[in-house]
Structure 1
Amino acid sequence: MSITQWIVLAVIQGITEFLPISSSAHLILPSQLLGWTDQGLAFDVAVHVGSLMAVIIYFRQTLIRLATSFIASLMRRPHDKSETLLAWLIILATIPAVIFGYVFEDLIETHLRSILVIAITTTVFGLLLWWADVQAPAKRSLEDLGWKDALLIGLAQALALIPGTSRSGITMTAGLMLGMKKRDTARFSFLLSIPLILAAGLLKTLDLIQTPSAFDLSAIVYGTALSFVSAFACIVLFLKWIERSGFLPFVIYRLILGAFLFFVYFS
């Protein structure tokens, strides 16, 4: 990869992983529109590690509380029941995407990583996000979530395996439709990203071990750092922004991107 390529891809991964605009679409499109060579598994793992480090460090205090209460509950010791419940809800909401990803991985990789699919999903799920943002009552907090809510959000998250859907976008859409406040649905979406990014990173690492290839160490190191910095800044700014301004700017961006992709595909 050229320096320009790995810088662009690292920043794209860091920013789009947590914004409701689809990281997978933005990582696929440069190669299809600009003819860039595939970045390779090693770089994919690196930028995912950077994003994972960012969300873990930002939510470190929350994660410590969740882990402490969860472990204490398993050992039948006194624990915070609300924190333990949230930990279980994150686990439950992660399961559908893991199952769907295992079953449909080949189908997705073979048939769905195209400009037309991304154009359709970017547009359709962007409009759905706008509808949820406008119509949802936005009264419930994280403490109000139950098992059914987590399962529905988890099923929505499984749809994000289709490129262009956006994992964060569809989980936030589902949260809004369930009546969650904007900041709380964003926080739950970010917490849900941790086990999923970790699982995806581990799978890519196993693939890398089984099919070793040469890689540029400097691109790996700097790509990880750049992905971390951009992802952390994105989380901080997004959580400050979303309560005041809502999701409309991201919806508009998705509609513009979708229109451009339809133009590219049919021209």
Structure 2
Amino acid sequence: MIEALILGFVQGLTEFLPISSSAHLRILGEFLPGAQDPGAAFTAITQLGTETAVVVFFWRDIVRIISHWFGSFTGRVPRHDPDARMGWLIIIGSIPIVVLGLFFQDEIETVLRSLWITATMLVVFGIILGLADWAGAKRRKLDQITVPHGIYFGLAQSLSLIPGVSRSGGTITMGLLLGYERAAAARYAFLLAIPAVFGSGLFQLFKSFGEPAVYGPIETAAATIVAFVVAILVIAFFMNYISKHSFLPFVIYRILLGGVIFVLLGTGTIQAI
């Protein structure tokens, strides 16, 4: 139970920062007494807690988007309404991760969880995030997202299927490369994650019934609740932070963490699989 609570805390702390929560759970598992990977199912289920935090934090936005999206079918809301368009953009942007997640499910749960891959993704995408934050125009706002950009955002989000990339980090990086403001890119990244995370988490929850797991249902539920509480605080901090500061601290942290994992793997202190 203590291990599960620690993992839930880390999940909530890292899910919305561009540093990859799945990477942190994967790495942390090596240092807990059992010294084992918590598993893709545990990660996906605890993400239900963090994504519920997004729903709570952006509740008004979500209700408005859904109501305007449905209203656009009846003519009550113009089809070019920004919130109605956002509903379509979230649907379109969710397609890549659903398709790739189903197609590469076995690889996601096995070979892609190698710590060699995780460390590499932490460093590589940390550098890309830094370059995007430095070179991006940061002029476009949330209501300027186009359908092609929604697809690009979705493809970037799908990279988070690989531990070390980061769901928010990959999507925000794409937003910066496309010229969006930091806050706009982050806001869309959080909204875009809702269908994918709930879909993945509920699928893994259903699939976990009757299957052996590192943590039982009570431990996993407790970790999910902890992740929810911590995530609420992190979202509030992060949205305030990026409106005033760059992503440089996160870039440095990713590169340093990746480097430490390379050293630990190279010296045999931890195992890749």
Tell me the TM-score normalised to structure 1 length: 0.92
Counterpart contact for 2:30–2:37, Cα < 8 Å: no
| 1:90 pairs with 2:93 | no
Q: Deviations over 1:20-66 (max 9, x none)?
A: 00111111112234443555788556522321221000000000100
Contact in 2 for aligned 1:14/1:51 (Cα 8 Å): yes
* Equivalent AA in structure 1 for residue 187 of structure 2: R
The residue number in structure 2 matching 1:180 is 180
Shift of 1:72: 1.0
Q: Which consecutive unaligned segments of at least 5 residues does structure 2 have?
A: 268-273
Q: Which residue type is aligned with residue 139 of structure 2?
A: K
* 1:7 paired to 2:8: no
Give yes or no for the alignment of 1:151 onto 2:151. yes
Provide the identity percentage: 38
Q: 2:26 touches 2:38 (CA, 8 Å); kept in 1?
A: no
Distance 1:52 1:235 in 2: 11
Report the equivalent of 1:18. 16
Q: Secondary structure at the match of 2:17?
A: coil
SS of 2:244 mapped into structure 1: helix
Q: Does 1:47 align with 2:43?
A: no
> Counting helix residues as a fraction of each chain, which structure ranks higher?
1
Give SS of 2:75's match: coil
- Could you tell me which residue of structure 1 aligns to residue 63 of structure 2? 64
3-state DSSP class of the match of 1:224? helix
Check 1:166–1:102 CA distance in 2 against 1; reply closer, same or farther (3 A cut).
same
Structure 2 contact 45–202 (Cα < 8 Å) conserved: no
Once the two structures are TM-superposed, the CA of residue 210 in structure 1 deviates from its matched residue by 5.2
Secondary structure at the counterpart of residue 194 of structure 1:
helix
Residue 212 of structure 1, CA deviation: 7.4
Aligned to 1:129: 129
Q: Which position in structure 1 is the counterpart of 2:270?
A: none
Post-superposition Cα deviations, 1:204-251, rounded to whole Å, max 9, x if no partner, equal 12202353778363x345323311111010100000001211100100
CA contact (8 A) 1:120 1:258 kept: yes
- Give 1:78's aligned amino acid: V
Equivalent position of 1:111 in the other structure: 111
**Contact 1:125 1:165 (8 Å CA) reproduced:** yes
Q: Which runs of 4+ in 1 moved over 6 A?
A: none
Give the corresponding residue for 2:248: 248
Give, in angstroms, the shift of residue 198 of structure 1: 0.4
CA contact (8 A) 2:18 2:166 kept: yes
SS at match of 1:244: coil
Asked if structure 2 preserves the Cα contact closer than 8 Å seen for 1:10 and 1:47, the reply is: yes
- Counterpart in 2 of 1:74? 73
Matched residues, number:
264
- What's the counterpart of residue 32 of structure 1? 30
- CA change 1:41–1:212 in 2 (3 A) is farther
User: What is the alpha-carbon distance in structure 2 between the residues aligned to residue 23 and residue 146 of structure 1?
Assistant: 28
With over 3 angstroms needed to count, the CA separation of the structure-2 counterparts of 1:44 and 1:134, relative to structure 1, is: closer
Distance in 2 between residues matched to 1:158 and 1:94, nearest whole Å: 8
Residues 46 and 221 in structure 2, CA contact (< 8 A), matched pair in contact too: no
Q: 1:180 to 1:40 in 2, by over 3 A?
A: closer
